[in-house]
Amino acid sequence: MTLFTPVSSPNRPIRFLVVGAGQMGRAWLQVLNESPDVEVAGIVDLDLELARGAAESAGGETSVDTSVSRLAKRTGAVAAVNVTIPEAHHLVNSEALESGLHVLCEKPLAPTVSMALRTAAVARSSSRLLMVSQSRRYLHALSAFRGQLAEMGEVGFLVAEMYRGPHFGGFRERMPHVLLVDMAIHTFDAARFLLDGDAVSVYCEEFNPKWSWYAGASAATAVFEMSGGRRFTYSGSWCSAGFETSWNGRWRASGARGTALWDGEGAPQLDLDDGGVLVPDLARTGPEGIAGALAEFVTALRSGISPSGEASRNIGSLAMVEAAVRSAQQGKRVRIADVLSSALTRAMADEPDGEQHDLLASVLLN
Ligand SMILES: NC(=O)c1ccc[n+]([C@@H]2O[C@H](COP(=O)([O-])OP(=O)(O)OC[C@H]3O[C@@H](n4cnc5c(N)ncnc54)[C@H](O)[C@@H]3O)[C@@H](O)[C@H]2O)c1
């Protein structure tokens, strides 16, 4: 099924709006400005001064506004990067898609799976591409680690831990389930990528240590059953100073023929039972992180081929987050299938237009 209409002038730079001129918005502006494939047509933020400041530091004459639809019309933009806070993602994505823009949205696609389903349905009804930027997928070292898993025979265990103590200020220090919703999605999505499969169920405990400076739970431990009976265990904290792990976590994979380790930064190591320790030369070519996500988005827009981050393909990662939160709240194991089906029921109830219901259901069929 063709999900979106590719851009009509494939050789011209694609004109982008950046929506959200905060910390990450500025990182996106730099990546967009460095890419020969795109140009920044305008910047949107509810805080117009912030948008102006970002425009000035990006150099050149960049239009600013508080409204996506207005600036889309004024600039003739074709696409948008949504770098607003998670609570605003659904509204901003819907407005951009309905204004005819293709959208590359920062993770998480939405705070809940039901809202993500509704956003993905808007993309389908407007024949525009909605892709989620899960920037870790574009790390060369993660891809090398994935290659090692493929050499280990059947993989039984995948273990990730992420312990850091950042003081962000802003929305993160107020939001509920902050570690699971704003950070663990990266690690959960990486686990799906590494195992090339989806989660079946999870048992999770989340908590907030006494010294935590976050209002929501900033630490969690989860055990996922993944497809094929494999286990993925996650343990993380955002209020743990000292001996910090990489932002990408520290990983161990154990399989029938050996074990692979990755510290989240350098080259991963593979120890096979019939050989010594192997450390690959990392291919340092090609864009990484959000620049990698942008490259995949642009290729998709020009070719019409659905990217790995297309919204409906990202729902499995968001469902892992929601299932983990639900498990922590209920104190019991939660099945991913139950999370998806209750999200669909909720999305249909929240969507008064009955014609959208088939679209909502179709999102889960991918
Ligand atoms: N991939 C990564 O490694 C990574 C790292 C940091 C942040 N992020 C993600 O990037 C997003 C933004 O994070 P941040 O740290 O830049 O947040 P931030 O709070 O610094 O910036 C968000 C900006 O969005 C603006 N905004 C909010 N609602 C809006 C709306 N309806 N319309 C227009 N503008 C709106 C705010 O005014 C603010 O300027 C989040 O989804 C976050 O999870 C990803």
The total of structural domains in the chain comes to 2
**Does 152 lie in the same domain as 241?**
yes
**Is 52 part of a structural domain of the chain?**
yes
Last residue of a domain, one of 278, 300, 319: 278
CATH of the domain at 198: 3.30.360.10
Q: Which ligand 1 atom minimizes the distance to the CA of 170? A: 19
**Does 73 lie in the same domain as 160?**
no
Residue nearest to atom 4 of ligand 1 (CA): 24
CATH of the domain at 24: 3.40.50.720
d(CA 3, CA 127): 6
Is the minimum distance from the CB of 247 to ligand 1 under 6 angstroms?
no
The pLDDT tens digits for 208-246 are: 999 999 999 999 999 999 999 999 999 999 999 999 999
**Does 148 lie in the same domain as 132?**
no
Decide if 185 contacts 317 (C-beta within 8 A).
yes
**Does 130 lie in the same domain as 91?**
yes
**Does 271 lie in the same domain as 150?**
yes
Decide if 272 contacts 151 (C-beta within 8 A).
yes
**Is 346 part of a structural domain of the chain?**
no
Is the minimum distance from the CB of 79 to ligand 1 under 6 angstroms?
no
User: Which is higher by pLDDT, 69 or 170?
Assistant: 69
Is the pLDDT reported for residue 1 higher than 70?
no
The pLDDT tens digits for 260-292 are: 999 999 999 999 988 788 888 887 678 999 999
**Does 259 lie in the same domain as 148?**
yes
**Does 146 lie in the same domain as 69?**
no
Decide if 118 contacts 350 (C-beta within 8 A).
yes
**Does 163 lie in the same domain as 113?**
no
**Is 79 part of a structural domain of the chain?**
yes
Is the minimum distance from the CB of 19 to ligand 1 under 6 angstroms?
yes
Is the minimum distance from the CB of 170 to ligand 1 under 6 angstroms?
yes
Last residue of a domain, one of 259, 278, 297: 278
The pLDDT tens digits for 95-153 are: 999 999 999 999 999 989 999 999 999 999 999 999 999 999 999 999 999 999 999 99
Is the minimum distance from the CB of 84 to ligand 1 under 6 angstroms?
yes
**Does 271 lie in the same domain as 170?**
yes
Span from the CA of 252 to the centroid of ligand 1 (angstroms):
31
Is the minimum distance from the CB of 47 to ligand 1 under 6 angstroms?
yes
- Alpha carbon distance, N-terminus to C-terminus of the chain: 10
**Is 345 part of a structural domain of the chain?**
no
**Does 145 lie in the same domain as 128?**
no
Is the minimum distance from the CB of 249 to ligand 1 under 6 angstroms?
no
**Is 176 part of a structural domain of the chain?**
yes
Structural domain harbouring 177: 140-278
**Is 265 part of a structural domain of the chain?**
yes
Query: Which of 18, 23, 48, 85 is the pocket-test mutation for ligand 1 (most atoms within 8 Å of CB)?
Result: 85
**Does 148 lie in the same domain as 130?**
no
Is the minimum distance from the CB of 109 to ligand 1 under 6 angstroms?
no
| CA diameter of the chain | 63
Burial label for 140, CB within 10 Å (0-12, 13-18, 19+), is middle
**Is 216 part of a structural domain of the chain?**
yes
Is the minimum distance from the CB of 46 to ligand 1 under 6 angstroms?
yes
**Does 210 lie in the same domain as 113?**
no
**Is 326 part of a structural domain of the chain?**
no
Residue nearest to atom 11 of ligand 1 (CA): 83
